[in-house]
Amino acid sequence: MRIVVAAVGRLKRGPERDLAERYRDRAAKSGRIIGIRSVEVVEIAESRAREAQRRMLEESIALANIIPGGAAVVLLDPRGENLDSPSLTARLHGWGDAGRADIAFVIGGPDGLAPSLAEKATIRLAFGAATWPHQMVRIMLLEQLYRAVTIQSGHPYHRE
């Protein structure tokens, strides 16, 4: 299985990018033993359109072009489901057992996602009711992917 994190915006050099890369690398390396081929982050540039609707549409089109065909699509959405780590792990494991070759996690821009892209969601995932900066959402997502890999492989990183 391949995991793709498709995100609007680029993380600049610094501690946020370093931390995101650390969790991505850990998830990729640790995931090999449970059948994860790769964990990729694909960044798209924020739209420069003046109108919010146009920005949302342009960014959604770019994100849709990144999502592999047949992938389980997880949209990061503040109105989505709040899953604990074991529940997210179970979803990932279930998609793998169902033969999904790819899972795409989609982090939209500040204006949100076009309805045409939102309709493709297999699930909408939230990290609580608070509003988080996109950079933090990316780091939290990559940490949760690493945590899911460790739960599935029996590594003691996650404790209950």
**Domains in the chain: boundaries:** 2-153
pLDDT in tens, 7-58: 999 999 999 999 999 999 999 999 999 999 999 999 999 999 999 999 999 9
Q: What is the pLDDT of residue 7?
A: 96
Q: What is the pLDDT of residue 157?
A: 83
| Beta-strand relationship, 72-82 and 102-107 | parallel
pLDDT in tens, 95-112: 999 999 999 999 999 899
* Average pLDDT of every residue of the chain: 93
Range of weakest confidence among 34-43, 56-65, 109-118, 150-159: 150-159
The CATH number of the structural domain formed by 2-153 is: 3.40.1280.10
CB atoms inside a 10 Å sphere around CB 11: 18
Q: What is the mean pLDDT of residues 64-84?
A: 94
Region of residue 44 (phi > 0: left; psi between -120 and 50: alpha; otherwise: beta): beta
- Report the percent of the chain where pLDDT is more than 90: 83
Q: What is the pLDDT of residue 29?
A: 95
Cβ partners under 8 Å of residue 113, min gap 6: 56, 59, 60, 63, 75, 106
Q: What is the pLDDT of residue 155?
A: 79
pLDDT at 130 over 80: yes
